[in-house]
Amino acid sequence: MCGIAGFYDPRLKPDQAREQLFGMLDSIAHRGPDARGTFIPVPLALGHNRLSIIDLSEDGNQPMQYFDAVIVYNGEIYNYKELRHDLELRGYKFKTKSDTEVILACYREYGERCVEFLVGMWAFAIWDLKEEFLFCSRDRFGIKPFYYIHDYDRFYFGSEYRALKPSPLFSGDLNWAQVSRGLQLGWNCYKDESYFNCIKTLPAACNLVFSNGRVSVKQYWDIDTTKKATGNFLEKSDRFRELMSDSIRLHMRSDVEVGGCLSGGLDSSAIASLVAKEFPGIPFKTFTIYYEGEGEVDERPWAEKVIRKYPQLEPHYLKPSADDIAASFDHAIDHAEVPIAGSSPISQYFVMRLARTHGIKVLLDGQGSDEYLGGYMHTFYRLIGGLMKSFRFAAAFSELNAHARTQEFGITKKTDVLMKSLLSSTMSENMLYTFEYLNYHPYLGPKQKIPFEFKHFNGNSLKKFLYHLMFTTSLPGLLHYEDRNSMAFSMESRVPFLDHRLVEYAFSLQNSDIIRRGETKRILRHSLRNILPKEIAERRDKKGFVTPGEVKWLRGPLNYLLEDNFQTLENLNMKKVRDLVRNFKKGDNRFASMVWRIAVLNYWMKKL
């Protein structure tokens, strides 16, 4: 895990280029405090701030050259040992023990197709010395960030917004389409857009080539909908466990200590339990944030069930106080670089801080499972609606009744689920999110074309929903916070559920392998039935990363966010903005999440 920055700018002299590059690297020094390296044969400049994880020696420093290519790279290639072995059989020689050198050798052997062989997370830029072009790539799910600005013959890139702000190409003009998506839907990113008009994001699973002043972007990977898993459910469960166990083994590769998040939910418990199973006897630190008080969620009793089953786990707990929230909010917002759409990323920020104070440099986290294994409760709308759309009404009502029994819904909530399922049976994903965009909260944005559209995916209603959770609506934003919160403390966060082999297999399963009779993440629960504590495997409530922020914090340590005239938001409907804030102050919590977004957006814009 590191910070990368660079540019191709024929208008800069050597001393100007050096000053420019160091300014960019200084802005992201927190991403790599262990070493800094540069490569500046103007008009090209490549820079790297290193967080040493694999091959801690100076041999692993970057920029790194291998024959006719130079790389700056952020991430981890977990199968680098296997790739290295294959390349050695082809005659390649290696001077380091790093995964960086393996990427360069893969590039020499396979060219731009090299990324198809990588298992891991990455954002890198390779300068081809022979052909004189820049080859950039981002991992399949966008775990690692890559931003750029292009203007004719000039091209600047970096790991964060802040790396591009020193660029002569940067302009602070906001992208109001993204501001609107953030407010109405909570999305902090979308396709290749950012919060600034000038900054583009390299989308997940895409390569970029900058050559002769032109930028071309090409997708190199996608879910293959033609693959179908074979075997009965028990055989599929065993295969899923094999893939998950292999992902854990690869993600534990590190030359520094690895720890893990442990919320007490299914995902983090699965990771901690598998680590204990695959690496018996090796101490493994876990980190849990909790809150106490009326109406708040304390996950420690659930986390402790995992701790009791696997005594080698070493638990660490933290309860953020009101003073902690007040003192840390500015730092968290600054590192997020976007208006935080809810309070849960603040809790994640404290998890990262807790882990770093205990000497952890690499942390395993459970992002991604909810998205492709149907962990969210609104997944049922698409499952039931899809059955209705196929005229399988008996099966649809069977799933509805099972869902209602499992979650202990009353008639009102059950009716609500039925109506939303009916809606999803008649509308596309694009139409459903458009409806939510315009109706779920009081609509605040300026009149404009709906600022999003969904890529076509050839699957049933449930699979389409899960696909867009992965690549459009949910996961991209969560991975943004994952990266920023971990790097705020110079720490690498790894997400074992996002091994692409595991995701591909999950998408090859039948709907009933994922959700059946009210049971979410069915394949995960059953595949780990002898590894997880029984209570965790059978846990049916979905808490998410529950925090009290949108109500309690805004009325407590962060109440100053509401003491403002909100003039920075003049592009919005100011009457509605002020009405929402005034009613919230009077005790109306119905739109607390929107009030949070308004308050945080206003605070973020004032700091620009």
Active site residues: 2
Helix, strand and coil percent figures for the chain, each rounded to 5? 45, 15, 40
d(CA 278, CA 289): 25
- Are the C-beta atoms of 29 and 49 separated by less than 8 Å? yes
CB half-sphere exposure, 559, CA atoms < 13 A: 9
Which strand ranges, in their side-by-side order, compose the sheet holding 133-138? Answer: 64-66, 69-77, 120-128, 133-138, 206-211, 214-219
SS3 state at 157: strand
CA atoms of 37 and 46, how far apart (whole Å): 8
Integer distance in angstroms from the first to the last C-alpha of the chain? 27
Q: Which residue's structure tokens are 């340590």?
A: 557
CA neighbours within 13 Å on the CB side: how many for 9?
24
d(CA 126, CA 120) in angstroms, rounded, equals: 17
- Calculate the CA dihedral of residues 20, 23, 24, 29 and round it to 10 degrees: 150
Residue 352 pairs in a beta bridge with none
Structure tokens at 59: 């041999």
Sign of torsion over alpha carbons 474, 263, 51, 140: negative
Q: What whole-number distance in Å separates Cα of residue 244 and Cα of residue 372?
A: 14
DSSP secondary structure of 38-59: EE--TTEEEEEEE---SS-SGG
Q: Which residues contact 10 (CB under 8 A, 6 or more apart)?
A: 42, 43, 153, 154
The b/e string for 248-262 (b: 16+ C-beta within 10 A; e otherwise) is: bebbbbeeeebbbbb
Across the strands, what pairs with 234? Answer: none
Residue 154 has a CB neighbour count (10 Å cut-off) of: 19
Residue 41 CA, distance from chain mean position: 34
What is the C-alpha separation between 432 and 437, in angstroms, rounded? 9
